[in-house]
């Protein structure tokens, strides 16, 4: 395979279609090995005469249960009866635990909690399975922060609100057109500077303009960017005006 700069990459495969080796333009060779189930088990690379390797291990259900990187560091993974990852552990070269991360789920297999020695996060969902909140209230020594999410009838995210120690701070809102394209983003809140960004599109859903304002009413413009595309959808021109000072990129066609 030759790229646009004329550099060649060579690849070889086995009878099952698994990639066995890859030689890049600098002559570095990476070799791959697989088990009888065509699962990747080792990855070896020669760089400047030095051999580096990664290895992978699996359980009977083909879940990845362990991998060792080129520096000898190991990660192990534990799964429940539904093959959901419930634990991830990092080990040093002596296989002593460095960090353990635990995961929990609800009946719909949506993740409800993630915790490690330094932090704990909880996740909540609505009846449609949409994420409605994330909070770190189980994290010791840190002010409780909660993010709350809102949606429209077609599952577009319409708002993100953050609370610190139970007090509302920033709010971001998102507007959409009939094709579910984001047309406006606003930001405001306690100690948060007001911002507004408007976006426009052409019939092919390619972005044609981005207008930025320093207030919600859209009466204090900050910057205006426009984009032009050819019939093949390729960007051909870009103009940008900031604080009344305009600039234009050369024609890209």
The per-residue pLDDT for range 7-52, each reduced to its tens digit, is 788 999 999 999 999 998 888 899 999 999 999 999 999 877 788 9
Question: Is 73 in contact with 90 (CB distance < 8 Å)?
Answer: yes
Mean pLDDT score, 178-190: 97
- Which residue has tokens 């991998």? 67
Confidence band for 92, pLDDT divided at 50, 70 and 90: confident
Distance CA 175, CA 139 (A): 33
Beta bridge partners of 227: 238
| Tokens linked to 232 | 């093949």
pLDDT at residue number 253: 47
Whole-angstrom CA distances from 194 to 77, 170, 181 are: 44, 10, 22
Distance CA 178, CA 153 (A): 12
Whole-angstrom CA distances from 195 to 104, 124, 148 are: 37, 28, 19
| Tokens linked to 5 | 């700069």
Q: Is the pTM of this model over 0.85?
A: no
Distance CA 65, CA 76 (A): 5
Strands 145-151 and 64-68: unpaired
The contacts found for 47-50 with CB under 8 angstroms, 24 or more apart, are: none
Distance CA 116, CA 101 (A): 5
Please state the domain extents for the chain.
Answer: 1-53
Distance CA 248, CA 236 (A): 11
pLDDT at residue number 3: 58
The tens digit of pLDDT for each residue in 162-174 reads 999 999 999 999 9
Residues in the chain: 253
Strands 85-91 and 192-201: unpaired
Name the residue among 250, 246, 202 with its Cα closest to residue 221.
Answer: 246
129, exposed or middle or buried, with CB in 10 Å at 0-12, 13-18, 19+?
A: exposed
| Tokens linked to 3 | 């790229």
Angle CA(16)–CA(20)–CA(22) in degrees, nearest 5? 135
Mean pLDDT score, 103-111: 98
Instruction: Check pLDDT > 70 for residue 203.
Output: yes
Percent of the chain with pLDDT over 70: 94
Confidence band for 252, pLDDT divided at 50, 70 and 90: very low
Instruction: Check pLDDT > 70 for residue 5.
Output: no
Q: Which residue has the higher pLDDT, 49 or 57?
A: 57
Q: Supply the mean pLDDT for the chain.
A: 92
Mean pLDDT score, 169-182: 98
Distance CA 135, CA 74 (A): 30
The tens digit of pLDDT for each residue in 124-135 reads 999 999 999 999
Distance CA 97, CA 55 (A): 18
């Amino acid at each position: 395979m030759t790229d646009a700069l004329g550099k060649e990459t060579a690849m070889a495969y086995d009878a099952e279609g698994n990639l066995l080796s890859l030689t890049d333009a600098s002559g570095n060779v990476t070799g791959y090995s697989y088990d009888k189930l065509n699962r990747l088990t080792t990855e070896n690379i020669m760089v400047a005469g030095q051999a580096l390797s990664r290895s992978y291990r699996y359980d009977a259900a083909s879940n990845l249960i362990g991998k060792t990187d080129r520096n000898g560091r190991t990660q192990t993974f534990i799964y429940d009866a539904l093959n959901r990852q419930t634990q991830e552990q990092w080990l040093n070269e002596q296989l002593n635990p460095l960090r353990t991360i635990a995961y929990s789920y609800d009946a719909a297999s949506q993740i409800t909690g993630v915790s490690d020695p330094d932090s704990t996060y909880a996740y909540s969902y609505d009846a449609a399975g949409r994420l409605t909140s994330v909070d770190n209230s189980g994290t010791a020594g840190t002010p409780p922060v909660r993010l709350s999410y809102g949606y429209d009838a077609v599952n577009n995210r319409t708002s993100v609100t953050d609370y610190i120690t139970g007090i509302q701070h920033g709010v971001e809102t998102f507007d959409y057109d009939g094709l579910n394209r984001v047309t406006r983003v606003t930001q405001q809140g306690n100690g948060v500077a007001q911002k507004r960004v408007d976006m426009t599109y052409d019939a092919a859903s390619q972005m044609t303009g981005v207008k930025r304002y320093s207030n919600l009413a859209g009466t204090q413009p900050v910057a205006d960017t426009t984009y032009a595309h050819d019939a093949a959808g390729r960007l051909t021109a870009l103009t940008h005006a900031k604080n009344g000072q305009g600039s234009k990129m050369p024609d890209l066609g």
